[in-house]
Amino acid sequence: MNEMSPTGFMSVDQPVILTPDALRARIIALFNEMWREDREDEPVELKDDTILLETGFDSMAFAVLVARLDDELGYDPFTMTEDPVYPQTFLEFIEFYTKCAPKPE
């Protein structure tokens, strides 16, 4: 199945390498985008100590967030580690993505 136009969803062949700050900004932007798709109120502010499951996002929403990040970044850290990882705070979530990010050659 081939993507039809560059206007919509962008699929990546090569993993996208971002600085930790850029990665954080990207995750927050996607979180906010998904929030606004589903709800009328303003998205909660994501701070380092924000408990992910207290944001109003349930596990289904986080699964979708992880899938969309995989589409954008080209990797899914949850499928890259042997040990099950359950990030609880937003900081842990970011750190998990940073740790698993592909390193520049």
Partner 1 sequence: MRSQAGVNASGDTVHCKALNTAILDLNLADDHALLISPDRALYVADLPALAVAGEVVAGKAIALCLTQPYALITALLACDGHAHTMLLLAPDLPPATVVSLAEQAGIDLIISDRSDIEGAVSWPLKGEGRALAADTDTRWLLTTSGTTGMPKMVEHARASVTRGVRASDAARGARWAMFYDPTRFAGTQVLAQALLSGGTLLVPDANMSVTDAVAWLVEQGCTHASATPSLWRRILMAPAAGGLSLKQITLGGEIADGAILMALAARYPQTRITHIYASTETGVGFSVQDGKPGFPASWLEQPAGDIRIAVRDEMLWLRPPGGIAPRASHAEQDDEGYICTRDLVQRDGERVLFLGRDDASLNVGGVKVQVEAVEQVVHDHPDVAQCCITARPSPIMGNLLTLSVVPRDPATDSVALKREIKVWCKERLPRPAQPATIKIVAEIAMSASGKLERKA
Query: Which spans of this chain sit near partner 1 (rule: CB under 8 A)?
Result: 1-5, 7-9, 37, 59-60, 62-64, 66-68, 71, 76, 78-79
Q: Which is nearer to partner 1, 68 or 98 (CB)?
A: 68
CA distance 33 to 43: 9
Within 10 angstroms of residue 24's Cβ, the number of other Cβ atoms is 19
Q: Which is nearer to partner 1, 21 or 79 (CB)?
A: 79
CB of 90 to partner 1, least distance (A): 16
CA distance 92 to 6: 33
Q: Which is nearer to partner 1, 50 or 104 (CB)?
A: 50
CB of 61 to partner 1, least distance (A): 9
Q: Which is nearer to partner 1, 49 or 82 (CB)?
A: 82
The two most distant CA atoms of the chain are separated, in Å, by: 43
CB of 73 to partner 1, least distance (A): 14
Could you tell me if 28 and 94 are in contact, meaning their C-beta atoms sit under 8 angstroms apart?
no
Could you tell me if 93 and 100 are in contact, meaning their C-beta atoms sit under 8 angstroms apart?
no
